[in-house]
Amino acid sequence: MTPAGSDEHFDEVEGVGTLPREIAPPPALRAATLEAVRRARRAGRWRRTVGAVVAIAAMVIVAIALQPHRKSASDFPGAGRELLARDHAKPDFDALDQAERELTSALQRQPDDAQLNAALARVRRQRDALHQLIAQVNQ
């Protein structure tokens, strides 16, 4: 005697041995099932893509939000704006001071050089114009 669940048991029943072991689904059912699987895979890829884009966008927003606020002159009332403007203009003032020192030194060696005198006058005018621009910040 064979166990109740084995293939041999079914073969003993008359006519069962002649039945096919697997029955193919109807072609329409097979096609519908395969199409449903394809759609599910596409939807899964789409969800993963959208999820990745949303995650990247969220990281960018957080990174922007965590950036320190850069102060501008409009963030300071009154004299604070002038101090900030002076701070931003410091490299320009330093360059003008250096140019004036070099021209003054050259003029000590050649006091009658008209080009050096004209250059020194231009440097001083530029410094004065920069001071005027900074003073206008408070107006």
Between 54 and 15, the more confident residue is 54
Q: Do 77 and 32 belong together in one domain?
A: no
Question: Domain check: are 83 and 130 in the same one?
Answer: yes
pLDDT digit string, tens, across residues 100-112: 888 888 888 888 8
The whole-model pTM stands at 0.43
Residues 101 and 130 in one domain: yes
Report pLDDT digits (tens) over 71-98. 665 565 666 777 778 888 888 889 989 9
Binning pLDDT at 50, 70 and 90, where does residue 8 land?
Answer: low
The count of domains in the chain is 2
Q: Are residues 132 and 78 in the same domain?
A: yes
Same domain as 86, residue 131: yes
DSSP 45-108: HHHHHHHHHHHHHHHHHHHHHHSPPPP-GGGS-THHHHHHHHHHHHHHHHHHHHHHHHHHHHHH
Q: Are residues 113 and 78 part of one domain?
A: yes
Same domain, 43 and 58: yes
Give the range of the structural domain holding residue 45, as residue numbers without chain letter. 23-66
Distance CA 38, CA 35 (A): 5
- 8 within some domain: no
